[in-house]
Each structure stands twice: as C-alpha cells, then as structure tokens.
Amino acid sequence: MSPIENETPPETINYKTIVYWSPELKRLEGVKQGSAIKTKALKFLKLNLVEYDREKKEFHVKPIKGYNKTTYTIKGEENHLACNCQFYRSVSMKWAHPICSHTMAVKLWLEIIRWNKGGKK
Ligand SMILES: [Zn+2]
C-alpha cells in the first residue's frame, strides 16, 4: 500500500505513515541491509526509545526490552550523525554515507517532530 501520486501530504505524520513520505527512508532503497535498518529504526520509534539530551546535546536510543541492554549515543548535526554502535563503527564505515538503525531512528524522529509542527517540506 502506498499513496497515490497526487495525494495531498497529511497534516500530521507518525511512525506508521512516515514510511510513505520520508526522504530519508527513500535514500535507504538500494542500500545493503537497508530494509533491516528501516525495520529496526521504525521499531525504536514505535516503542518511543529515542530521546534528546539537551545538556549534552546528543541523542540516545534506549534498548528494546528483551533484545539488548545498551543505550546508544548519537552525536552530531542532523546530516552528519554518528553512532557508537558496533554496526556503525564497522560495517557502515565502509559506505559513502555511514548509517545505522539508531542514526536513522533519530533522523526520522526529527522528521516527525518537524512535520507535526507544520514545517513539512
Ligand atoms: Zn547505531
């Protein structure tokens, strides 16, 4: 199911509907392990595990219960986010644009907030 070409973008967006509208997710198409990254990132959003630490100016992605116990730290500007997880530091470092499920979750989280504030593009 995908939106028809000329459908008007919705007023608000969430972790379910963002899959049809996010330019970030579009960029994952054709990326090795892209669909796994997408699935995991959306799960972090669904479970509300992304948060921003205003003091340290960094993002945290909390662990999925029963899956792992590590909180990952994501730092940097929105377009240059870096994560301290194993996948980001090993596998994705070989890519032109390193990415992992955590940096993707943060990007989508920011996209949703911006969209729902009325600043969608
Ligand atoms: Zn990561």
* Residue 60: C-alpha distances to residues 7, 47, 79, 96, 114 (Å): 34, 13, 16, 24, 18
Q: How far is the CA of 14 from the centre of ligand 1 (A)?
A: 21
Under a CB-based contact definition with an 8 Å cutoff, are residues 10 and 116 in contact? no
- Domain borders along the chain are 37-119
Under a CB-based contact definition with an 8 Å cutoff, are residues 51 and 60 in contact? yes
Q: How far is the CA of 84 from the centre of ligand 1 (A)?
A: 6
Report pLDDT for 1: 47
Instruction: Give the pLDDT of the chain (121 residues) as one tens digit per residue.
Output: 455 566 788 899 999 999 999 988 998 888 889 999 999 999 999 999 999 999 999 999 999 988 889 999 999 998 899 999 999 999 988 888 899 999 999 999 999 999 999 855 5
Non-local (6+) Cβ contacts of 85 within 8 A are 70, 72, 100, 102
d(CA 42, CA 48): 10
